[in-house]
């Protein structure tokens, strides 16, 4: 993956006089030259609004915009590009599905989420608890960071309407058995939404293989731009959803008396969409697709394992989440030091890690944490990065010892 790394211009810069070691990709990944060039080319050479224009630039931009939708469909193994709805990110994708599903929720209906969810896959369901009387049920997380599947089976019942779980935890790195979770939910008639913001990058995001009703992901963690994401839905699931927002593009006809709505996916894409961002995401997916996914996973895990091996036996470090088969995320606490302080000292050595609650407060509470630090590895990271991370971490620990 050294050749892939060379395609990220930002990774050649220095921070505080040290070579940049970027280990915050779970928050937002860096962008390859292919994405930067695609955005520049679209702005410099062929840009207009999409779908409704009849002139050359409108047609060219529409073709590029819809080609990006096709790239997403292939990437997720969706049945058709019409199963892909553009959103401004994973959060909006989940909110779109929740808003539509919520209209049929009755007081006492149950929604199952897990303790490891990102706030983006918690708060929309809390809104249905507040507004529709839904009851939230929580799948516990075991000490190793895996889901308690036996407890999940017990939670399922005749009142279960929705199951919403993450494909991969942004804190623990745990890759959940989403196909099994989906099968079990469908056995009681529940709809399933998978938060794929991490899983689409580091897991197997085969939506037909998973069998879920909805799969949400964001572009900026997938080496694409910010401000773009997508919601996959089965044809049946999208057909059943009412419009999310009103405006241009999402209609068939508008009169003074009535309005009729477009078919999915355009029914859910009111107004001018994130055109350039979608083109950039399409470029990111096309770029990423040239690499073997299994090879990427093996590389990322190898870098993680290298760092983990160097820290093995260190008595002042606590690693949070070591489930079997987990992704390359190393979340930790350091005895005698606040995570924020550790991150700031590591930054002096050019090493970028994240510190805080990682938008997962129920999970932090589960592990008794007020804060933790997180190093997240991507395809552009190397064993040299892992060594720099460990060296900086040891220096940070010595600073507070």
What integer pLDDT is reported at residue 53 of this predicted model? 76
Annotate 345-372 with DSSP letters as a single string.
HHHTTTEE-EEE-TT-HHHHHHTT-S-E
Contact 79, 208 (CB under 8 A): yes
Q: Assess whether pLDDT exceeds 80 at residue 267.
A: yes
Q: And the tokens for 104?
A: 């049929």
Please indicate whether residue 359 is annotated as part of the active site. Answer: yes
Annotate 157-215 with DSSP letters as a single string.
-TTEEEEEEESB-TTT--B--HHHHHHHHHTTT-EEEEE-TTHHHHS---HHHHT-SEE
What integer pLDDT is reported at residue 155 of this predicted model? 98
> Rounded to whole angstroms, how far apart are CA atoms 30 and 36?
11
40 Cβ contact partners less than 8 Å away, ≥ 6 residues apart:
none
Q: Assess whether pLDDT exceeds 90 at residue 237.
A: yes
pLDDT band with cut points at 50, 70 and 90 for residue 56: very high
What integer pLDDT is reported at residue 2 of this predicted model? 80
pLDDT band with cut points at 50, 70 and 90 for residue 270: very high
Q: Cα dihedral sign for 374, 27, 396, 382?
A: positive
Q: Assess whether pLDDT exceeds 80 at residue 315.
A: yes
Q: What is the mean pLDDT of the chain?
A: 97
- Per residue in 65-122, pLDDT tens? 999 999 999 999 999 999 999 999 999 999 999 999 999 999 999 999 999 999 999 9
pLDDT band with cut points at 50, 70 and 90 for residue 278: very high
Q: Assess whether pLDDT exceeds 80 at residue 257.
A: yes
What integer pLDDT is reported at residue 327 of this predicted model? 97
Q: Assess whether pLDDT exceeds 80 at residue 1.
A: no
Q: Assess whether pLDDT exceeds 80 at residue 39.
A: yes
Please name each of the domains of the chain with its CATH number: 2-29+293-400 (3.90.1150.10), 35-288 (3.40.640.10)
Instruction: Identify which of 189, 192, 240 has the alpha carbon closest to the alpha carbon of residue 212.
Output: 192
What integer pLDDT is reported at residue 179 of this predicted model? 98
Section 126-144 average pLDDT: 98
Give the other-Cβ count within 10 Å of 255's Cβ. Answer: 7
C-alpha separations of 94 from 10, 235, 254 in Å:
31, 17, 28
Section 296-314 average pLDDT: 97
pLDDT band with cut points at 50, 70 and 90 for residue 172: very high
Q: In three state form, how does the secondary structure of 40-95 look?
A: HHHHHHCCCCCCCCCCHHHHHHHHHHHHHHHHHHHHHCCCCHHHEEEECCHHHHHH
What integer pLDDT is reported at residue 54 of this predicted model? 86
Q: And the tokens for 92?
A: 């909006």
Residue whose tokens read 């005895």: 335
What integer pLDDT is reported at residue 300 of this predicted model? 98
Is the whole model's pTM more than 0.85, yes or no? Answer: yes
Section 172-190 average pLDDT: 98
Q: Between helices 275-288 and 33-45, what is the axis angle to 10°?
A: 140
Instruction: Write down the catalytic residue from 29, 359, 360, 363.
Output: 359
Q: What DSSP character marks residue 86?
A: E
Q: Assess whether pLDDT exceeds 90 at residue 400.
A: no
What integer pLDDT is reported at residue 401 of this predicted model? 76
């Amino acid at each position: 993956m050294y050749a892939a790394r060379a395609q990220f211009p930002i990774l050649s810069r220095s921070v505080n006089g040290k070579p940049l070691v970027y280990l915050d990709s779970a928050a937002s990944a860096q962008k390859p030259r292919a994405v930067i060039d695609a955005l520049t080319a679209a702005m410099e050479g062929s840009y207009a609004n999409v779908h409704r224009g009849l002139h050359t630039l409108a047609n060219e931009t529409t073709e590029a915009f819809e080609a990006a939708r096709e790239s997403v469909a292939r990437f997720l193994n969706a049945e058709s590009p019409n199963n892909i709805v553009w959103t401004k990110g994973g959060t909006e994708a989940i909110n779109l599905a929740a808003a539509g599903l919520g209209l049929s929720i009755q007081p006492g209906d149950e929604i199952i989420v897990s303790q490891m969810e990102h706030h983006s896959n918690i708060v929309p369901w809390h809104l249905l608890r507040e507004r529709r009387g839904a009851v939230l049920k929580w799948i516990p997380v075991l000490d190793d960071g895996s889901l308690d599947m036996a407890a999940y089976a017990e939670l399922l019942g005749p009142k279960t309407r929705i199951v919403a779980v993450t494909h991969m935890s942004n804190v623990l790195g745990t890759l959940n058995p989403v196909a099994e979770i989906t099968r079990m939910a469908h056995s009681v008639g529940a709809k399933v939404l998978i938060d794929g913001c991490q899983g689409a990058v580091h897991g197997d995001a085969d939506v037909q293989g998973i069998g879920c009703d909805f799969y949400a992901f964001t572009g900026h963690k997938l080496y694409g731009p910010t401000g773009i994401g997508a919601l996959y839905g089965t044809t049946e699931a999208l057909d059943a959803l009412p419009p999310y927002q009103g405006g241009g593009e999402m209609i068939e006809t508008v009169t003074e008396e009535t309005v009729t709505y477009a078919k999915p996916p355009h029914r859910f894409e009111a107004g001018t969409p994130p055109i350039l961002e979608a083109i950039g995401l399409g470029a990111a997916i096309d770029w990423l697709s040239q690499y073997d996914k299994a090879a990427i996973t093996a590389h990322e895990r190898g870098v993680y394992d290298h760092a983990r091996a160097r820290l093995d036996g260190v008595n002042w470090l606590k690693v949070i989440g070591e489930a079997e088969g987990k992704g390359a995320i190393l979340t930790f606490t350091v005895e005698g030091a606040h995570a924020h302080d550790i991150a700031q000292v590591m930054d002096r050595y050019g090493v970028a890690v994240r510190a805080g609650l990682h938008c997962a407060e129920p999970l932090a509470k589960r592990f008794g944490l007020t804060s933790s630090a997180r190093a997240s590895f991507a395809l552009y990271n190397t064993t040299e990065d892992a060594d720099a991370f460990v060296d900086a971490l040891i220096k940070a620990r010595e600073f507070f010892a």
